[in-house]
Amino acid sequence: MSAAPVTPTAFHAPLAWLDGRWQAEVLMRVGADGHWTALSAGVPAPADALRLGGPVLPTLVDAHSHAFQRAFAGLAEQRDSDSDDFWSWRDRMYGVALRVTPAQLKDIAAQLYTELLAGGYTQVCEFHYLHHREDGTPYEDEHAMALALAEAAQEVGIGLTLLPVLYAHAGFAHPGLRETQRRFRTDADWVWQACRRISAAGLPLVRAGVAVHSLRAAHEADVRALQALVGDADIPIHVHVAEQMQEVNDCLAATGRRPIDFLADYGLDPRWQLVHATHSTREEIARIAASGAGVVICPGTEGNLGDGLADLPGWLAAGVPLTVGSDSQVTRGWVEELRWLEYGQRLGLQRRNVAARPGHQPSTAARLFDACVAGSARAAGLRSWGLQAGARADFLVLDTSASGLAGLPDAALLDGLIFASQGPAWREVYVAGQPRSIDDAGRRERFVATMAALWR
């Protein structure tokens, strides 16, 4: 049996992104728990520090993931009828959801989590609603699917926030689920017990929270029951909301209110994360800002599904915490998510550098990146995040010879990374002070075999 890897007690970077800017000669010390104890700029490298081969960036949290949908990415890009939208995509996606076993889910998730590491994420929030056997009955261990995800994360070495999902209805006017949703069925008690089981397991780098699938899938009594069970527990609470205009219209028809406005009446607080929030009004944004809740935008998936464009200028101006997510897994890196977060706005508004804040933060890349770093801890249920004392020692080492970065002045490296690079541009990825592999042939082979079994 090989010895456990030794965590260096100190790293030294020629440059590091500290306090919203590049700073030189940065000494970063790590405690025995894998968290930063101190970071200082302008310090020559001491003898005990590991000298890193490039500039250092903090990583981001992938704040919204459905791991099983990695097995469907790329398989819904043909149209055989007069129309195709989110709802027709969803019906086809259920074909995967109704077949995946725990062993297959582990193989899918292990491949996905390796790809997310390569994409610059070191923590993933798994919005997990694929719970039961293919026929809808519970597994002998009713949390078998959640445990498969945790095992995959442990194998890869990525942080995981598992969010068991409350999913009880097929729509605003439906008392139950459709037959094709039989694997998702839960109530508030089930979700809370799943959260407690995951937390009690004490797995390294694994945390738990809860999620409400949506207002259409969890009615008021369901949400109130879950809130009562959660109480004041300091855990993240995630919810899909206002992703599609049909959802907005259905909510208006059923309640007389728009979804975000209706959701705000539940008494939101900083634990809540609103996923998508694509269709919002300025009044709704103001209500969310006052609550302290955050928003998770998934530009790659929202573009792929034709959801629409979130009001990025509105959310930023209101100071609402912001993160991004890989969601359906058609994109699996934060560089592309931030690029399309900005490009969507440019296309919609016919302007450039929409997210920039002249006089305060003129770099679009810096404003988006810093916003997501700041929002990452709360989305994942962690106390802190990034290159700061107390946060887990997760970081990326940039390769300045990579496409889009070669030849750029130091001050433009983040701009080049987000708006001119072609793929990941880092030499190394570290989690809790340990280097992680961003490629694994064995995991890929298992994934390919699972895909063959699912799709033959």
* Residue 306 clears pLDDT 80, i.e. is over it: yes
Which one from 66, 276, 394, 399 is the annotated catalytic residue?
276
Q: Which residues pair with 22 in a beta bridge?
A: 17
Q: What is the pLDDT of residues 189-246, one digit of tens each?
A: 999 999 999 999 999 999 999 999 999 999 999 999 999 999 999 999 999 999 999 9
Q: What is the pLDDT of residues 108-122, one digit of tens each?
A: 999 999 999 999 999
Query: What's the pTM value of the predicted model, to 2 decimals?
Result: 0.97
Extended beta strands in 115-158, E state? 121-128
Tell which CATH classification among 2.70.70.10, 1.10.1740.10, 2.40.50.100, 2.30.40.10 matches the domain 10-58+386-441: 2.30.40.10
* Residue 450 clears pLDDT 50, i.e. is over it: yes
The answer to whether residues 354 and 364 touch, using CB atoms and an 8 Å cutoff, is yes
Q: What is the pLDDT of residues 320-372, one digit of tens each?
A: 999 999 999 999 999 999 999 999 999 999 999 999 999 999 999 999 999 99
Distance CA 69, CA 305 (A): 13
Query: Minimal CA–CA distance to 187: which of 221, 162, 138?
Result: 221
Q: How much is the average pLDDT of 56-78? A: 96
Q: What is the pLDDT of residues 372-426, one digit of tens each?
A: 999 999 999 999 999 999 999 999 999 999 999 999 999 999 999 999 999 779 9
Distance CA 223, CA 214 (A): 10
Concerning whether 48 is annotated as a catalytic residue, the answer is no
Taking all residues of the chain, what is their mean pLDDT, rounded to a whole number? Answer: 96
Q: How much is the average pLDDT of 119-139? A: 98
pLDDT at site 4: 53
Q: How much is the average pLDDT of 157-179? A: 97
pLDDT at site 87: 87
Please give the distance of CA 311 from its chain centroid, rounded to a whole number: 19
- The domain made up of 67-380 has a fold known as TIM Barrel (3.20.20)
Length of the chain: 456
Q: How much is the average pLDDT of 31-47? A: 97
* Residue 3 clears pLDDT 80, i.e. is over it: no
Which one from 327, 370, 394, 399 is the annotated catalytic residue?
327
Q: Where are the domains of the chain?
A: 10-58+386-441, 67-380
Distance CA 391, CA 369 (A): 17
pLDDT at site 1: 41
Half-sphere exposure of 296 (CA within 13 A, CB side): 32
Concerning whether 269 is annotated as a catalytic residue, the answer is no
* Residue 104 clears pLDDT 70, i.e. is over it: yes
The pLDDT confidence band at residue 2, using thresholds 50, 70 and 90, is: very low
| Residue 21, both tokens | 């800017």
The pLDDT confidence band at residue 259, using thresholds 50, 70 and 90, is: very high
Instruction: Identify the residue with better confidence: 143 or 3.
Output: 143
The pLDDT confidence band at residue 456, using thresholds 50, 70 and 90, is: confident
Distance CA 375, CA 274 (A): 12
Q: How much is the average pLDDT of 9-35? A: 97
pLDDT at site 7: 65
Q: What share of the chain is helix, strand, coil (3-state, %, to 5)?
A: 40, 20, 40
The answer to whether residues 194 and 134 touch, using CB atoms and an 8 Å cutoff, is no
**H or E element at residue 273:** strand 272-276
Q: What is the pLDDT of residues 198-211, one digit of tens each?
A: 999 999 999 999 99
Distance CA 373, CA 304 (A): 25
* Residue 100 clears pLDDT 60, i.e. is over it: yes
Percentage of the chain modeled with pLDDT above 90? 94
